[in-house]
């Protein structure tokens, strides 16, 4: 399966311990290659699918780290620009023991945000099986959103499908603005990967089941609801399946949702039954949190199969 992605490439610099604010001298670890679409792309390539990426980095050591990582893992990097006049994007992040995070970003005005419609190549996007849309990447700036709209048009025109991870923070974006921006994308999508909060905001339905049913009545074939440590739920017109989580020790939750989406598309590409697709996606998401760094835990197909086989043997023993 050939999948296109578009969006921010950046490095993440994180506090080594929880509850350390960003604004006081202390220890950081990094840089780690990051950016939600980059994590998705890297993971999907490691799972064996063809991935084409449109993005931009600076001509600096951070950019080299990201591009070399994506290339090593098999992402087609021919759509990634290296800019002399812009610096590679950076995200500083710290976690608090209540589960909250705090960020300081250089993205929109850094190389990360220098993505324009002309960077989306017609010949590639007309031939994609899937375009994976990240809501957060559409929010970076106007040119990124326009590039996405061009990509969407090309993919639909070429007969490809759209998968959509809203990945926005309702408290920052505002409900009205979220609906205005993302309802059109939702209706164009075949597969949607929301959280419960996102889907209730986007549909203006407080009940999650009703929200998912509403989405399915508007075009999408599948809603795969991400529930973090509680696993996921798949909704189609034919029913609803709870997919239990794989218990793992969480080291770094960043990127788990992006890896879940990659696992899901890989499962669809393999033609697995939908519940098996969900199981694979849960396993990929679970492995993603077991290593420090946003894309360090992204498994290969062999790693995730071995992990699932071990988990199954444990279940049988119990």
Q: Compare residues 19 and 312 and give the one whose CB is closer to a copy of itself.
A: 19
Specify the pairing of strand 232-236 against strand 2-6.
unpaired
**DSSP letters of 194-212?**
-BHHHHHHHHT-SSHHHHH
**5 touches 113 (CB < 8 A):** no
If you ran DSSP here, which 8-state letter would residue 78 be given? T
- The CA-CA-CA angle for residues 208, 278, 71, to 5°, reads 115
Q: How far is the CB of 51 from a copy of itself (least distance, A)?
A: 23
Q: How far is the CB of 52 from a copy of itself (least distance, A)?
A: 24
Indicate if 252 belongs to the active site: no
Instruction: Using alpha carbons, select from 88, 87, 52, 94 the residue that is nearest to residue 70.
Output: 52
Q: How far is the CB of 42 from a copy of itself (least distance, A)?
A: 15
- Cβ-based neighbour number of residue 227 at 10 Å: 16
Q: How far is the CB of 77 from a copy of itself (least distance, A)?
A: 16
If you ran DSSP here, which 8-state letter would residue 71 be given? H
**251 touches 218 (CB < 8 A):** no
Please classify residue 264 by burial: count the beta carbons closer than 10 Å to its beta carbon, then call 0-12 exposed, 13-18 middle and 19+ buried: buried
Please classify residue 91 by burial: count the beta carbons closer than 10 Å to its beta carbon, then call 0-12 exposed, 13-18 middle and 19+ buried: buried
Interaction site with a copy of itself (CB under 8 A): 13, 16, 21-32, 58, 60-62, 64-65, 86-88, 90, 102, 104-106, 109-110, 293
Q: Compare residues 26 and 184 and give the one whose CB is closer to a copy of itself.
A: 26
Q: How far is the CB of 294 from a copy of itself (least distance, A)?
A: 11
Q: Compare residues 30 and 220 and give the one whose CB is closer to a copy of itself.
A: 30
Q: Which of 129, 165, 252, 258 is catalytic?
A: 258
Residues forming the active site? 258
């Amino acid at each position: 399966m050939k999948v296109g992605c578009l969006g921010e490439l950046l490095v993440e610099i994180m506090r080594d311990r929880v509850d350390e604010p960003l604004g006081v001298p202390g220890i950081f670890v990094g840089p780690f290659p990051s950016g939600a679409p980059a994590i998705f792309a890297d993971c999907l390539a490691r799972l064996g699918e063809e991935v084409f990426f449109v993005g931009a980095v600076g001509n600096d050591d951070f950019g080299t780290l990201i591009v070399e990582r994506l290339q090593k893992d098999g992402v087609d990097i021919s759509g990634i620009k290296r800019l002399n006049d812009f610096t590679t994007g950076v995200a500083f992040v710290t976690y608090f023991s209540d589960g909250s995070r705090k960020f300081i970003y250089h993205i929109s005005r850094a190389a990360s945000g220098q993505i324009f419609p002309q960077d989306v190549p017609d010949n590639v996007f007309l031939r994609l099986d899937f375009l994976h849309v990240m809501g957060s990447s559409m929010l970076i700036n106007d040119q990124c959103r326009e590039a996405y709209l061009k990509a969407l048009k090309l993919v639909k025109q070429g007969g490809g499908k759209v998968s959509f991870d809203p990945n926005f923070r309702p408290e920052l974006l505002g409900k009205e603005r979220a609906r205005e921006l993302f309802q059109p994308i939702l209706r164009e999508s075949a597969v949607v990967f929301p959280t419960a909060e996102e889907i209730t905001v986007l549909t203006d339905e407080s009940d999650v089941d009703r929200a998912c049913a509403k989405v399915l009545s508007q075009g999408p074939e599948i809603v795969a609801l991400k529930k973090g440590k509680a696993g996921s739920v798949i909704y189609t017109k034919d029913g609803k399946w709870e997919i239990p989580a794989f218990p793992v020790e969480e080291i770094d939750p960043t990127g788990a949702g992006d890896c879940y989406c990659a696992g899901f598309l890989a499962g669809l590409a393999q033609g697995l039954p939908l519940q098996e697709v969900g199981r694979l996606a849960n396993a990929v998401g679970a492995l993603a949190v077991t290593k420090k760094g946003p894309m360090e835990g992204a498994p290969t197909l062999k790693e995730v199969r071995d992990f699932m086989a071990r988990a199954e043997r444990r279940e049988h023993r119990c």
